[in-house]
Amino acid sequence: MIKKILFFSLIFIFSISCVNSNKTKKGDKLYVVTTTTMITDLVKNIGGDVIEVKGLMGSGVDPHLYKASEGDVSKLTNADVVFYSGLHLEGKLVDVFEKMGRNTNTVALAEVLDKRGLIGSEYFASNYDPHIWFNIKYWKEITIYLTEKLSELDPKNSLLFEKNSKAYLDKLDILENKIIQTIATLPKDKRILITAHDAFNYFGKQYGFEVIGLQGLSTATEAGVQDVQNLAKLIIEKQVKAIFIESSVPKRTIEALQEAVKAEGFDVKIGGTLYSDALGNAETNEGNYIGMFQYNVNTIVKALK
Ligand SMILES: [Zn+2]
């Protein structure tokens, strides 16, 4: 009996020390795996050089359809922590995360947001629209949550994380002011944003646009002929000047919509390519969240004016 108690106590002490130890799985630096390019960018901004960050998804990659490769699984199992967006954005990765749950620390960053403010959706198993990064206020909340999590996992660097976080939140404030000023130059009746899929509902709600996505909330559903016809009618009725391609969604549906509008004798332009569910190339200004947001707003406002 005593032996048994001793055995279980040892297991208990061992598991506690595992949880609390600051030792990382690989080397000295905290090894962090991230999913979307937006999350990767944020983690790099807060973590700086003192952590190692591996992003699974690259530029132009659609998170709704993304499946984990074998290489990804080994990265995930070696990770000290996995930060992902959540609310079932990464629809095909959810199972992988759930299976890993016991051995690897996984954090869905969007879980910190108050659900009462979110846009409901029957399409996602989460029951919410997951495209939360298009409200800068939510991105600030996520920045603060991420900073807390990194500080818990790597307490010796917590002061640096705090400092980086503060600097980044200031940049987000500046971004928010800038885009509000840019949008103010577009007359209210021209604020209709039509894109390939419904990624911009939070953007529309926060910054005053009517938003319509041809493919619905997820790219996993295709737009039907009827959807195209109905949207073409609306474009003509409201005299919408431009519609937009998205970098992570094939452009054929938006081109089909443009053709349908033309067939009715009205000309709608393709206003440009927006970054919706993925950032641009890492080397470009659109390769980071702030640059992407500014670029999207400039492109939208210029084309709809
Ligand atoms: Zn999406």
What's the predicted TM-score (pTM) here? 0.89
The CA 277 to ligand 1 mean position distance, Å, reads 5
Quote the pLDDT of residue 201. 96
The CA 49 to ligand 1 mean position distance, Å, reads 30
The CA 294 to ligand 1 mean position distance, Å, reads 19
CA Rg value for the chain? 22
The CA 303 to ligand 1 mean position distance, Å, reads 22
Quote the pLDDT of residue 277. 96
The CA 177 to ligand 1 mean position distance, Å, reads 25
Q: Are 278 and 37 a contacting pair, CB within 8 Å?
A: yes
Quote the pLDDT of residue 57. 97
Residues of the chain with CATH 3.40.50.1980: 20-178, 186-304
The CA 157 to ligand 1 mean position distance, Å, reads 34
Quote the pLDDT of residue 240. 97
Quote the pLDDT of residue 97. 83
- The tokens of 157 are what? 């660097």
240 to 24, 138, 187, 194: CA distances (angstroms): 54, 29, 12, 9
Does domain 186-304 correspond to CATH entry 3.40.50.1980? yes
The CA 13 to ligand 1 mean position distance, Å, reads 44
Quote the pLDDT of residue 84. 97
Nearest in space to 273 (alpha carbons), one of 179, 185, 199, 173: 199
The CA 265 to ligand 1 mean position distance, Å, reads 31
Quote the pLDDT of residue 26. 64
The CA 55 to ligand 1 mean position distance, Å, reads 18
φ, ψ (nearest 5 deg) of residue 101 = -35, -45
Tens of pLDDT, residue by residue over 172-196, are 999 999 999 999 999 999 999 999 9
Quote the pLDDT of residue 95. 83
Q: Which residue numbers in the chain have pLDDT < 50?
A: 1, 5-22
The CA 1 to ligand 1 mean position distance, Å, reads 57
Give the C-alpha separation, 279 to 292, whole Å. 6
The CA 189 to ligand 1 mean position distance, Å, reads 26
One of 3.40.50.1980, 3.40.50.20, 1.10.340.70, 3.30.450.40 is the CATH number of 20-178, namely 3.40.50.1980
The CA 292 to ligand 1 mean position distance, Å, reads 15
The CA 218 to ligand 1 mean position distance, Å, reads 5
* Angle between helical axes of 225-237 and 252-263 (0-180°, round to 10): 60
